[in-house]
Amino acid sequence: MLIEVMDGETVRNSILGDVAFAEAVYPGAWRIAAVQDEAPTPVNPTEWLIDIGPFFDRFGAAKMAVLTSADAGVKAILADLQVRKWIDLQRPDVAQGVQYVGTVVPEVTAPLQGAILTTPVAEAENLALRKLYFS
């Protein structure tokens, strides 16, 4: 718990400890802090990183229309994505690429674009990435 070490009425320091420790080290000169900060939630470094295949699977029925598009811009976006080890769904250029694809391939609607980019990555969608780089 968070303990405030006191100097009269002034908080001199804050420490993590329990009542027994506070009393042993700072007899009569401490109090339990009114606000107890929670431990920070661990950050998942792969939360928005998706393997290549599962990324394209997110296009659902529109996937083949995207992959067979003759548009030079779509081809460039596909080539850029396919040379990566994974796709970071939070990168602005990825969002711009998906939006561009939506302007060329009508099946890639705005709701589909949103779902592709904002649905958190499931464990199965970045299994290769985690196995190779994070285990």
pLDDT in tens, 17-29: 888 888 888 899 9
Q: What is the DSSP letter of 11?
A: E
Encode pLDDT of 29-71 as tens digits.
999 988 887 666 667 888 899 999 999 999 999 999 999 999 9
Paired tokens of 47: 């939360």
Q: Which residues contact 13 (CB under 8 A, 6 or more apart)?
A: 4, 5
Amino acid making up residue 75: K
pLDDT value of position 22: 85
Q: How many CA atoms lie within 13 A of 113 on its CB side?
A: 17
Distance CA 49, CA 130 (A): 9
Measured distance between the N- and C-terminal CA atoms of the chain, rounded to whole angstroms: 32
